[in-house]
Amino acid sequence: MENLQFKSSQLSMKAPICSLKRRATASLPNEPPNKVPEKGRMGNKHNWRAISSIPCFGKEKNRASCHIHGDSSGFTSKTKYRYDVFLGFRGEDTCHAFTVPLYNSLRRKGINAFIDDKKLGKGERIAPAVIKAIERSRISLIVFSTNYATSTWCLEELTHIIWCKKQKNQLVMAIFYKVDLLDVQYQRNSFEEARAALEDRYRDDLEKVCKWRSALFEAASLSSTWLFEDGCESGFVERIVEHAYSMLPPKRFHNVDCIVGLEPRIEEVISLINKSDKGVCMLGIHGTGGIGKTTLAKALYYSVFYHFEGACFLFDVREVSKTYQGVV
């Protein structure tokens, strides 16, 4: 007997149903895109805004729905992706204050993100492992901050990200964290000071500095841009995560390629969940041993867990509780 925290009538497991392969994904209802005020502020409480052609998704996460549709065509099929999102940032500026919380929020949403939180912007040359991570990510998310341009590591990362955007059609999003977009685009204020220092440092290789300046300009000219001055960072992070999730292709169900007839069963269970009322629910799946109750429960979990702030899959509860004196 597998118990899930959803409320509905019991579902009896019978013989597998063969069906044509379809791709399913759990998604949230769309909201109309918010208009950006002329002065670039969203209300009086939160001094941040999003500049994007992609509408944001709503915040309601307590109900799941299942929709069948084809594969996303926004990414090239030749690239073998390892990560959904690559996070580029200046460690000493934003690592623990903003970027790590953003990374954790991405992971809770089910987005496989890469973060190099050990470098702290040190080193002259970008590590090969980081280059590989950039190339094998679907989205690169750049966090610009006041001292971003003082790090040649960050500038090399940015240059390679822009290269991947042009050569591999990688999606790139820019976040301006407590820094003016125009300061980055036209290298003003702290970015101007960093540029002067770099030109003096690399006076024999000014072509490299020009390459970095060009990358900064192109990144600041992206259509998908997020600005944060002050206010509620958690709400700002949530919208970025929802936006990144909407840009990714649908998630496939757990082990779906190896099990015939699993997707129709998942859709049937989700339809029962959608009929339930609001609140904590319980769904029972019963049947003889070895016919796939745990497999179905696990596949259902992987299809809906990212709709909730916290989720956990517990299996073999009876056996585990015997080992630890009733504690799971």
- pLDDT top residue among 56 and 124: 124
Q: Report residue 134 as tokens.
A: 């950039």
Q: How many Cβ atoms are within 10 Å of 139's Cβ, its own excluded?
A: 24
Q: What is the pLDDT of residue 176?
A: 97
Q: What is the pLDDT of residues 110-160, one digit of tens each?
A: 899 999 876 534 555 788 899 999 999 999 999 999 999 999 999 999 999
Flag whether pLDDT at 328 surpasses 90: no
Rounded to a whole number of angstroms, the distance between the first and last alpha carbons of the chain is: 16
Q: Which of 135, 157, 238, 242 is catalytic?
A: 157
Range of 101-110, 142-151, 305-314 with top mean pLDDT = 142-151
Which residues, at least 6 apart from 72, have a Cβ–Cβ distance to it below 8 Å?
248, 249, 250
The H or E element containing residue 172 is strand 171-177
DSSP letter at 6? B
Least confident of 221-230, 252-261, 294-303, 314-323: 252-261
What CA–CA distance (Å, rounded) separates 296 from 67? 18
Are 22 and 301 spatial neighbours (Cβ–Cβ below 8 Å)? no
Q: What is the pLDDT of residue 184?
A: 96
Sheet holding 11-12, edge to edge: 2-4, 283-286, 11-12
Domains of the chain are: 2-23+252-323 (no CATH), 26-247 (3.40.50.10140)
Return the exposure string of 4-36: e unless at least 16 CB atoms fall within 10 Å of the residue's CB, then b.
bebbbeebebeeeeeeeeebbbbbbeeeeeeee
What CA–CA distance (Å, rounded) separates 218 from 242? 24
- pLDDT-derived band at 24 (thresholds 50, 70, 90) equals very low
Q: What is the pLDDT of residue 35?
A: 37
Mean pLDDT of 215-229: 93
Q: What is the pLDDT of residue 309?
A: 66
* Listed residue (233, 264, 262, 245) closest to 306, CA to CA: 245
* Strand 47-51 versus strand 24-27 pairing type: unpaired
Mean pLDDT of 4-15: 43
- pLDDT top residue among 323 and 289: 289
Mean pLDDT of 284-293: 86
DSSP letter at 99? I
The H or E element containing residue 216 is helix 206-220
pTM over 0.85: no
What CA–CA distance (Å, rounded) separates 209 from 202? 7
- pLDDT top residue among 281 and 69: 281
Q: Report residue 270 as tokens.
A: 């989700």
- pLDDT-derived band at 264 (thresholds 50, 70, 90) equals confident
Are 225 and 50 spatial neighbours (Cβ–Cβ below 8 Å)? yes
- pLDDT-derived band at 20 (thresholds 50, 70, 90) equals very low
- pLDDT top residue among 313 and 77: 313
Are 67 and 28 spatial neighbours (Cβ–Cβ below 8 Å)? no
157 is an active site residue: yes
Q: What is the pLDDT of residue 80?
A: 81
Q: How many Cβ atoms are within 10 Å of 229's Cβ, its own excluded?
A: 15
Q: What is the pLDDT of residues 179-212, one digit of tens each?
A: 999 999 999 999 999 999 999 999 999 999 999 9
Q: What is the pLDDT of residue 326?
A: 64
What CA–CA distance (Å, rounded) separates 57 from 31? 5
